[in-house]
Amino acid sequence: MDFFKFALEMEKKTIESYRSLAEKCQSHEGVKNILLMLAEDHEKHTKTLKEMKNNAVIEMKEPEAFREARKLFTHMQTDQDPFICDMDQVKLYEDARELVLKKRQFYLDMVMNMENEKNKSLVNQMAEEEKKQAVILNHIIEMVRRPQTWLEDAEFHHLDEY
């Protein structure tokens, strides 16, 4: 298996997935922007992989999506900004999370076979970014499910203790 070919295909698929989700989440500008930032982070991964393949000296910049997502989620929580999205999208977010987790595992598996220390470091960094993106997607999935979960469990979650 050609590491670079497979990795670039996975990155392309992830970018397409994030852009598609962003298009479908027009009702919430903040989440849409997070999804677009995640796509941009994967475009950086694509660039890094191409440079690695060509043995170019490279460094990856720290991704912005995780930091920005944390700010947005904190803002939404303090302002109690409702997140309204079509419940059918949960599966799409779960699929995106699974893709990110598969990519992370692929990177972790491949890094063991790499001899170039610089490449190992970069691939490990990409694997950690995939982990952070899975966290972001988990938060989005929770937000999408929250209205349904609250309605199902409302009588048990909102009782005062006596």
The pLDDT value given to residue 159: 43
Q: Are 126 and 107 in contact (CB under 8 A)?
A: yes
Model confidence pLDDT, tens digit, residues 82-139? 555 554 678 888 888 999 999 999 999 999 988 888 889 999 999 999 999 998 888 8
Please choose, from the candidates 84, 82, 70, 80, the residue with its C-alpha nearest in 3D space to the C-alpha of residue 138.
Answer: 70
Percent of the chain surpassing pLDDT 90: 30
Query: Please, what CATH class does the domain formed by 3-153 belong to?
Result: mainly alpha
The pLDDT value given to residue 142: 82
Q: What is the pTM of this model?
A: 0.74
The pLDDT value given to residue 97: 92
- How many angstroms separate the CA atoms of 36 and 132, rounded? 15
* 142-157 mean pLDDT: 57
Model confidence pLDDT, tens digit, residues 17-33? 889 888 887 767 777 88
What is the residue-averaged pLDDT of the chain? Answer: 79
Give domain limits for the chain. 3-153
Q: How far is CA 47 from CA 12, 61, 123, 131, 143, in A?
A: 11, 11, 13, 19, 32
- How many angstroms separate the CA atoms of 120 and 60, rounded? 13
Close Cβ partners of 36 (under 8 Å, ≥ 6 residues apart): 18, 19, 22
